[in-house]
Amino acid sequence: MQGSTVLITGGAKGLGRSFSEALGREGARVFITGRDTMALDDTVKALTADGIAIEAIRADVVDRGAMQAAVARIVDVSGRLDVLVNNAVDPGPVGPTADVDFDAWWYTQRVNVAGPLVAAQAALTFMNRVGRGRIINLVSPAGVHRWPYATAYSVSKAALLKLTENLAVELGSTGITVFSYNPGFVDAGLTRTGIELAESSDNPWLRRIGRWAVKVRDDGDFTPLDVAVGTLVRLARGDADAWSGRVINADDDLVTVVSGGERVPGSPANGREFR
């Protein structure tokens, strides 16, 4: 990643912070966005002390003006933008869909679907000009499987998968690739917060989801943080460029196969999109 520039939305907390740290350690110049000034400052301070080139830009991901200004600032100071990681997320309301608070539900779609579109459009003003770049959209099994009582999150991630697929086709003749990245359940960020909140919550639906997440964790089916982060780094540096538009899972083996004596990209070794 030496010499490249990355933008990570929501890069100060949870998985976003781990992605920022890992990409920075690989030599990338890192820009992070978010709304929480204190968290942005804390992350910049800590990672700068570790020798990482990082800058924070306060920007709500649904604010088109703020995101366009963020990209303009990045291009201005670093002269490039190689990778956009659409990581920012709203976990959404939990409960029966029949009664769910409409405004909270719609807000989740704005942050999780419109947000990545806004960030992608801003990034593409530069990437299209240079004919090069990668966009990585963070998805979740919640976007493929049924996740009753968490429809705001589930529906938003399903929509994001389609945004990835369609955008990848539209950009197919350019040098720009687009991925959905499923890190799996990780003991970090919203999963950890969700489990903690569920323990003390009087919302039976949240408690139910929390119990299920604890079972998945105790069954050993969480993705280790280093695996979730490691595959994101490989995506960012181009190891999966042949699979633009696809869902890449944290534990996919991004192999290169030899065909007719020539090295060509193969499919993710396990040949599946979601378990």
Catalytic (active site) residue 153: yes
Tokens representing 101 are 């608070």
The tokens 């960012």 sit on which residue? Answer: 236
Give 183's contacts (C-beta < 8 A, 6+ positions apart): 15, 138, 140, 223, 228, 231, 232, 250
Is beta strand 29-34 parallel, antiparallel or unpaired with respect to 5-9?
parallel
Tokens representing 64 are 């088109």
Question: Residue 110 CB, nearest distance to ligand NAP (Å)?
Answer: 8
Q: Under a CB-based contact definition with an 8 Å cutoff, are residues 91 and 97 in contact? A: no
The interface region with ligand NAP, picked from 23-31, 163-171, 182-190, 250-258 by CB under 6 A, is 182-190
Task: Find the helix or strand (DSSP H, E) in which 157 lies.
Answer: helix 151-170
By CB under 6 A, residue 248 contacts ligand NAP: no
The interface region with ligand NAP, picked from 73-81, 144-152, 178-186, 258-266 by CB under 6 A, is 178-186
Distance of CA 85 to the CA centre of its chain: 5
Question: Residue 146 CB, nearest distance to ligand NAP (Å)?
Answer: 16
* Beta carbons within 10 angstroms of residue 10's beta carbon: 28
Tell me which residue has its CB nearest to ligand NAP: 189
Interface mask toward ligand NAP for 103-142; x: CB under 6 A:
--------x--------------------------x-x--
Q: Under a CB-based contact definition with an 8 Å cutoff, are residues 6 and 29 in contact? A: yes
Which CB atom, from 72 or from 242, has the smaller least distance to ligand NAP? 72
Is beta strand 54-58 parallel, antiparallel or unpaired with respect to 29-34?
parallel
By CB under 6 A, residue 12 contacts ligand NAP: yes
Which CB atom, from 101 or from 129, has the smaller least distance to ligand NAP? 101
By CB under 6 A, residue 87 contacts ligand NAP: yes
Pick from 5, 10, 180, 237: which binds ligand NAP (CB under 6 A)?
10
By CB under 6 A, residue 147 contacts ligand NAP: no
Strand partners, 57: 33
The interface region with ligand NAP, picked from 12-20, 71-79, 117-125, 267-275 by CB under 6 A, is 12-20
Which CB atom, from 133 or from 143, has the smaller least distance to ligand NAP? 143
- State the number of CA atoms in the 13 A half-sphere of 163 facing the CB: 26
Is beta strand 83-86 parallel, antiparallel or unpaired with respect to 133-138?
parallel
By CB under 6 A, residue 177 contacts ligand NAP: no
Interface mask toward ligand NAP for 55-74; x: CB under 6 A:
-----xxx------------
By CB under 6 A, residue 210 contacts ligand NAP: no
Tokens representing 261 are 């004596």
By CB under 6 A, residue 251 contacts ligand NAP: no
Tokens representing 197 are 């909140």
Angle at 111 between CA 233 and CA 231, to 5 degrees: 15
Residues lying near ligand NAP in the complex (CB under 6 A): 9-10, 12-16, 33-36, 39, 60-62, 87-90, 111, 138, 140, 183, 185-186, 188-191
Residues with a catalytic annotation lie at 153
